[in-house]
Structure 1
Amino acid sequence: MYWNGWPLDRILILFIGLAFLLMFVQVTMFHYRQNFHQKAMWIPVIAAPVFFIAGIVLAFYQVSWMKWLFKIFMFIGILDGLIGFYYHFRGVGIRVGGWALRNFLIGPPIILPLVFTALSTLGLIAAYWR
């Protein structure tokens, strides 16, 4: 494969797609551990592999409709990450002792949904890059 002709936005989209594959593995393990006790837990588990496929396809096949679809997916990813942050932060507060440091350490990871949001934001930056 010849990489010299690839612009930065295309390389970023490839990286973001691969990062969503890793996010899928991590999110699935955490939510499986909690037995998917809330239906909202399924959203990132389903969305992350879709975002992975969209990123890989867009990196290798630069068609305009795929770019628009990728942008829509990244907006959904931002929203999903923010909703996840809310649920995770609330989940820490529900634990015995409330928002004590111990509960932030052993409770739902509040940073992981923000990483999902950050990856989606980087995807939008790459998609709008000129």
Structure 2
Amino acid sequence: MAWSHWSLDRVVILFVGLAYLFIWIQVTMSHYRQNFHNKAMWAPVILAPLICIIAVLSTLLNSNGWFTAALLCFWLGAAAGLIGFYFHFRGVGLRVGGYALRNFLMGPPIIMPLLFSAISVLGLIAVYGG
């Protein structure tokens, strides 16, 4: 397997897949710490390794079927991150004191779900741009 023959979009999709491995570790630890009190917390925990596996397979196998599956996963990841942002932002407001700065610092991280979406959008850019 010669890396010099890989297109940029293929390398970016591989990077996105591997990035979801690390995101999965973080989101699993964070949601486990909160005892998965909302069923929606399972979405990124299940979706992140799925995106990881499919994105890595799509780059290694280099077939249209796998790239189509990766495309679908990237759209799901982008949507899941936006939904997570809603829950995290709402979670900050439900804390004592509402949307005070200290609640943004100590409450659910509102940027993490946006990162989940942003990495998927990077994958979408690679798929559509390639």
TM-score interval, smaller chain: over 0.9
What's the secondary structure of 1:47's corresponding residue? helix
Q: Which amino acid aligns with 1:69?
A: A
Preserved contact between residue 82 and residue 113 of structure 2 (Cα < 8 Å): yes
Aligned residues: 130
Match of 1:116 in 2: 116
Question: What TM-score, normalized to structure 1?
Answer: 0.98
1:8 corresponds in structure 2 to: 8
Distance, in Å, in 1 between the alignment partners of 2:55 and 2:90 is 31
Indicate conservation of the 8 Å contact 2:55/2:67, yes or no.
no
Alignment check: 8 A CA contact 2:85 2:114 kept: yes
RMSD: 0.7
Alignment gaps of 5+ in structure 2: none
Unaligned runs of 5+ in 1: none
- Runs of 4+ more than 3 Å apart: none
In the alignment, the residues of structure 1 paired with residue 15 and residue 85 of structure 2 have an alpha-carbon distance, to the nearest angstrom, of 23
1:98 CA drift (Å): 0.3
Q: Distance in 1 between matches of 2:66 and 2:3?
A: 21
Give the match for residue 50 of structure 2. 50
Q: What is the percent sequence identity of the aligned residues? A: 56
Q: Deviations over 1:5-54 (max 9, x none)?
A: 11100110110000000000000010000000000000000000000001
Instruction: State TM-score, norm by structure 2.
Output: 0.98
Structure 2 partner of 1:28: 28
Deviation string 1:58-116 (CA, Å, 9 cap, x unpaired) is: 11111111111111111111110000000000000000000000000010000000000
